[in-house]
Amino acid sequence: MQIVKDHGPITGESIAEKLNLTRATLRPDLAILTMAGYLEARPRVGYFYTGKTGSQLLADKIKKIKVEDYQSIPVVVNENVSVYDAIVTMFLEDVGTLFVVDDESLLAGVLSRKDLLRASIGKQELTTIPVNIIMTRMPNIAVCYKDDPLIDVAERLIEKQIDAMPVVRKTEKGYEVIGRITKTNMTKAFVALAKDDLL
């Protein structure tokens, strides 16, 4: 790399000559440095140093990850189901957030654990209260799209202090829920990066 920094752009043959190696011997090393992003190669020009540090290369890699790469299957309930049924669904599905849809299967609201806990404190009959009474409604719901960069969604989750966000598809009538992004999805992406499973 130092040779490329000092003499770039420089051909593979010239690098091999300076190291007293054959071009064939050097080819795998140059390929790795190029794939990792430290060097760039241009036909008939040669190799040159990109100037990027390891952390800059990691940041570039992170910015390329999209929501669709890590989204999960959404857990939805109809806006007319009871608070009791929503609590049961949340436990059976082992999620922290439920997405509430209307009769046309469009996003109408979001239910968090806190919403359900708040509703269950007191002497209300939970089987008779519909979730649309206690849910957070549109337009107060943060949503994301499958093509959004995952890092942008992570920032919004932190900023809004929420655990999950619906991945939606915009239709003429409203938002159709097609997935969910949670803090767990973010953790999976982080672990995959550490294991270098992400390209």
Q: Concatenated DSSP letters for 121-146?
A: SSS--TTTSBGGGTSEETTS---B-T
How many helices, marked H, and strands, marked E, lie in the chain? Answer: 8, 8
SS3 8: coil
Tokens of 84: 């009791």
- Do 35 and 78 share a domain, yes or no? no
Instruction: Please give the residue range of the domain that contains residue 81.
Output: 67-191
Helical H runs in 8-63?
12-18, 23-36, 54-63
Inside any domain, residue 62: no
Last residue of a domain, one of 26, 52, 78: 52
Instruction: Count up the domains in the chain and report the number.
Output: 2
**Within a 10 A sphere around the Cβ of 159, how many other Cβ atoms?**
9
Residue 197: pLDDT above 70?
no
Helical H runs in the chain?
2-7, 12-18, 23-36, 54-63, 83-93, 113-120, 150-160, 183-194
Inside any domain, residue 197: no
- Do 83 and 169 share a domain, yes or no? yes
Inside any domain, residue 132: yes
Inside any domain, residue 59: no
pTM for this predicted structure:
0.71
- Do 4 and 33 share a domain, yes or no? yes
- Do 166 and 84 share a domain, yes or no? yes
- Do 107 and 167 share a domain, yes or no? yes
Q: What is the mean pLDDT of residues 117-133?
A: 89
Q: Residue 139's pLDDT is what?
A: 81
- Do 104 and 34 share a domain, yes or no? no
SS3 130: strand
Note whether 107 and 176 are within 8 A (CB). Answer: yes
- Do 72 and 47 share a domain, yes or no? no
Note whether 94 and 87 are within 8 A (CB). Answer: no
Residue 148: pLDDT above 80?
yes
Band the pLDDT of 198: cuts 50, 70, 90: very low
- Do 4 and 93 share a domain, yes or no? no
- Do 36 and 71 share a domain, yes or no? no
Q: What is the mean pLDDT of residues 8-19?
A: 84
Domain of 160: which CATH number?
Answer: 3.10.580.10
SS3 183: helix
Domain of 7: which CATH number?
Answer: 1.10.10.10
- Do 30 and 77 share a domain, yes or no? no
Q: What is the mean pLDDT of residues 122-140?
A: 89
For the stretch 19-47, pLDDT in tens is 888 888 888 888 888 877 788 888 878 88
Band the pLDDT of 153: cuts 50, 70, 90: very high
